[in-house]
Structure 1
């Protein structure tokens, strides 16, 4: 009698896999082999059946890959922030997936690229006296940012195809990695959609050319989502879950940590509106804004809701108090966690989050008081991602163990 088709859900270790397949090995009707990432069960008189066995070893490989990808996304975010601060983002006026990978080399090619740039508002209004040498500097900054984005795409897509073919993914993991790869492609399109907004002619000749703050925040927000999802998935595969005894206090701590993580993300996203509107230059004092706690022009625009997204004063005001609220929440999380028994690694994660929060506030205030110097502003922007990283680390440490 022939054995039916077999499908096994195996635990994450080779020893357990060996024990589960020992009875099949003893059957004269089957031939089988166990290798890294998958097991092949061949029935002598039937077709070969391949059973995926994501193991502890393959989980580590996939986890390291995803953490590495999140590092590349982090680099793209930092490089994008520097590109924005140096006003280099509008230097490349075309978008070609393959053609633009090769920068201009000859004098004629540079002259041609520069002549294209001269046709757009940024040159006509802001940089009409720019030289070719100065143009090369901002061009290479934007070109480097775009090439880094292509590197991120390849780092997701190529390993995904390889690991998929080797059987390293579970069914749920396949859905996740497909979503991550799709998000990378969407991020590239959104980046070009953002740049296009800065190349359009404004209503008045005196309007300063800049990308839409709405598209900038969407571009940054999607990058942070990609980063968060990759890092979270990678950490949950690499770090063994803490077997914390379930209690009411632990449940409260988890909820507190989730709310704090959401505040960190929202504060970072509000920074995109500050950058998009150059709102860091309107009130360069702290803790007051000028001579007042609440400036007179806080609600200058009509309707009122426009102020939240388009009024530089309101945007800076919101970012300030979101930062203070986030710092307060993280401090509360730290104090609450001190009243509980937690594993050493979890305490380290919460301590790092708290230390980074205070560092980030100091960087933000310094950036404001010194009138947004590029180096300090770039460090502050990078600090927001570092803070988000520690928030995800804390959440990974406090995740519930699925039995």
Structure 2
């Protein structure tokens, strides 16, 4: 063990958690492509163990196809689809679920081994246990989401999609955070409350924007109003308020408008945050992490506009969803660095309290 490192750390545990985060990132991207290809309802049953085995012969494929033909998506959207076309959407959904199973094993088995070997820092054991529980819950929520499109809808409910993606991103951020804790060891010093609160608000705003994006994806709001900066030539597009509060979840115009407007506010806030962090010369690395966060926000915004104006082609839509995870990664690392920075490294005076 390196004597210059804190005792309460484990680089091997950190690498394991970062690997799990990479798998979650892959699941988010594959999940986005699954949604864009309309593949999410191609598997109409939830079999956590037996479902790992795909159809192996013509009879199995015929059975799976017949089950798909019984749901509204086939009868109302894909009537007449060939078996080969069905296989194309089936494999995307199967890959998404298979990645989830692989992730469960990659997390649970090493977790048990590390516990037996007493390699996990004691303060991180309960955090890893919570992440394991959230992963199991994610499987249930995934089926809860899929089940919403098997009887009365031709797609999944947007709010359920938002919950599913939101939990995936929460697990992703948790893995990164706990991994950083395991890598660096315990640090008892804390940054001034103002900056810590500001970094937390930035993280929360990024996460909320991801949820708003999920509603756009779930309601297919990116397929309409593909001009920018206006929406069909207007600032405020018409919304169907007859839906009541559900308009904020299901109305395509309102859902897209909310995602756009919140993005503008987030860009302004992120830019101001980065400028202030850099100008006040915060602890080493903090100014840079704030700038990286702001830069990722701008890149994601530009990508979002390009994706919208091209009516969300699969490759751009998948890239935009991957970009959301990258922005959340930047916000998570920034918050972690701010919370662990020693107060003496901040400039003195009232303005060091900052945000």
Residue 69 of structure 1 corresponds to which residue in structure 2?
Answer: 20
- Partner residue of 2:181 out of 236, 247, 264: 236
Distance in 2, matches of 1:252 and 1:135, equals: 54
- Structure 1 partner of 2:348: none
Closer, same or farther in 2 for the Cα pair 1:158/1:311, shift >3 Å? same
Q: 225-234 vs 345-354, which deviates more?
A: 345-354
- Tell me the alpha carbon deviations over residues 123-178 of structure 1, each in whole angstroms, 9 at most, x when there is no partner: 11111121111111101111000000001111111111011111123443221111
Provide the residue aligned with 2:104 in structure 1: 153
Structure with the higher strand share, 1 or 2 = 1
Q: Which has the larger radius of gyration?
A: 1
Q: What is the number of residues matched between the two proteins?
A: 342
Task: Determine whether 1:353 maps to 2:293.
Answer: yes
Q: 1:281 aligns with which of 214, 223, 239?
A: 223
> Which runs of 5 or more residues in structure 1 are unaligned?
1-12, 17-53, 203-208
Asked if 1 retains the 8 angstrom alpha-carbon contact of 2:297 and 2:327, the reply is yes
- Of the structure 1 ranges 182-191 and 285-294, higher mean CA displacement relative to structure 2 is found in 285-294
TM-aligned CA deviation for residue 55 of structure 1: 3.6
> Structure 1 residues 130 and 243, CA, compared in 2 at 3 Å: closer, same or farther?
same
Query: Post-superposition shift, 1:14?
Result: 7.9
* Alignment counterpart, residue 90 of structure 2, candidates 129, 139, 143: 139
Q: Which residue of 1 aligns with 2:148?
A: 197
**How far did 1:237 drift?**
2.5
Note the C-alpha offset of 1:326: 1.0
- 2:201 aligned with 1:268, yes or no? no
Distance 2:3 2:208 in 1: 45
Q: Which residue of structure 1 aligns with residue 350 of structure 2?
A: none
Query: Aligned pair in 2 of structure 1 residues 139, 245: CA closer, same or farther (>3 Å)?
Result: closer
| Alignment correspondent of 1:223 | 168
Question: Partner residue of 2:44?
Answer: 93
Q: Deviations over 1:258-298 (max 9, x none)?
A: 11111100000111111111011221111111121112x23
> Deviations along 1:327-351, whole A, 9 cap, x unmatched?
1111011111122223443333222
Structural mapping, 1:316-335, within 5 Å: 316-335=256-275
Equivalence for 2:78: 127
SS in 2 for 1:301: helix
Contact 1:241 1:401 in 2 (8 A): no
Change (3 A) 1:338 1:223: same
Q: Is the CA contact 1:253–1:333 (under 8 Å) kept in the aligned structure 2?
A: no
Q: From the superposition, tell whether residues 128 and 15 of structure 1 become closer, same or farther in structure 2 (CA, over 3 Å).
A: closer
Aligned residue number for residue 188 of structure 1: 139
Structure 2: runs of 5+ lacking an equivalent: 344-355
With normalisation by structure 1, the TM-score equals 0.80
| 8 Å contact from structure 1 (residues 89, 195) kept in 2 | yes
Q: Is the 8 A contact 1:217 1:272 kept in 2?
A: yes
User: Displacement, 1:300?
Assistant: 2.7
* Shift in CA distance, 180/373, structure 1 to aligned 2, threshold 3 Å: same
The superposition leaves residues 22-58 of structure 1 with CA deviations (integer Å, 9 ceiling, x where unpaired) of: xxxxxxxxxxxxxxxxxxxxxxxxxxxxxxxx945x5
2:278 touches 2:288 (CA, 8 Å); kept in 1?
no
Q: Secondary structure at the match of 2:32?
A: helix
Confirm or deny that 1:115 pairs with 2:57.
no
- 1:186 and 1:193 map into 2 onto residues whose CA distance is 10
1:212 is matched with which residue: 142, 157, 182? 157
The reply on whether 1:386 has 2:326 as its aligned counterpart is yes
Matches of 2:295 and 2:306 in 1, distance apart? 17
Distance in structure 1 (CA, Å) of the matches to 2:142 and 2:152? 19
Between the aligned partners of 1:259 and 1:337, the Cα distance in structure 2 is 15
2:109 matches 1:169? no
Structure of higher RCO (CA pairs closer than 8 Å, 6+ residues apart)? 2
Alpha-carbon distance, 1:400 to partner? 3.4
Normalization by structure 2: what TM-score? Answer: 0.90
Cα distance change on mapping 1:15 and 1:384 into 2, 3 Å: closer
Residue by residue, what CA displacement relative to the aligned partner does 1:192-247 show, whole Å, maximum 9, x if unpaired? 11111110135xxxxxx01011111111111111111111111122247899896x
Q: Deviation per CA, 1:69-106, whole angstroms, max 9, x where unpaired? A: 11111111111011001100100111112212111121
